[in-house]
């Protein structure tokens, strides 16, 4: 028997579905050929492992419990990730709110004021305005705000 024929019939040989003469020839070939004997031993070991795995009983609802545990861990990890970002963003948002409040307060404060400047045509009115506002003569300031 050659090795190619042995490999083609190996699964039937393991399942013992070949005729007795072919089974004996296959057995004799494993005694002569080390490669085929190694292949036969490997397939036998795999079949034994599969037989052991078939005997293991899976507890009922084990899959459901495992999947539920995985899902709860993923949910906790997502929740922790969101909380970490919330904790990082709180100071930034508070700072932005304070800056916005200060800016709006400043803009509201300037909104009611009107500014006028003294130009050359009203330069003659300056002493009268100084007297009305009780500005001393020694102060050299221009009157900016008439309100």
Asked if residue 12 is part of any domain, the answer here is: yes
- pLDDT, tens digit (0-9, with 9 covering 90-100), for 85-144: 777 888 888 999 999 999 988 888 777 665 555 555 555 576 677 677 776 665 544 545
- Looking at the structure of the chain, the number of domains it has is 3
CA atoms of 10 and 6, how far apart (whole Å): 6
Domain that holds residue 18: 3-55
Residue 143: predicted pLDDT: 47
Tokens of 83: 């909380």
Give one DSSP letter per residue of 35-69, joined into a string: HHHHHHHHHHHHHHHHHHHHHPPPPTTHHHHHHHH
Indicate the residue among 18, 38, 55 that finishes a domain.
55
Spatial CB neighbours of 125, under 8 Å, sequence gap ≥ 6: 118
Residue showing tokens 């948002």: 93
Asked if residue 31 is part of any domain, the answer here is: yes
């Amino acid at each position: 028997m050659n090795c190619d024929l042995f490999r083609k019939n190996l699964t039937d040989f393991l399942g013992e579905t070949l005729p007795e003469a072919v089974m004996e020839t296959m057995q004799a070939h494993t005694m002569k050929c080390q490669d085929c004997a190694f292949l036969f031993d490997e397939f036998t070991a795999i079949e034994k492992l599969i037989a052991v795995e078939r005997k293991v009983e899976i507890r009922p609802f084990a899959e459901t419990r495992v999947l539920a545990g995985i899902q709860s861990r993923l949910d906790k990890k997502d929740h922790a990730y969101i909380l970490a970002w919330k904790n990082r963003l709180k100071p930034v948002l508070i700072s932005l709110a304070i800056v916005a409040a200060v800016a709006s307060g400043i803009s509201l404060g300037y909104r009611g004021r009107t500014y006028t400047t003294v130009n050359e045509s009203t330069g003659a009115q300056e002493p009268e305005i100084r007297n009305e506002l009780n500005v001393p003569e020694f102060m050299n300031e221009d009157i900016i705000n008439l309100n």
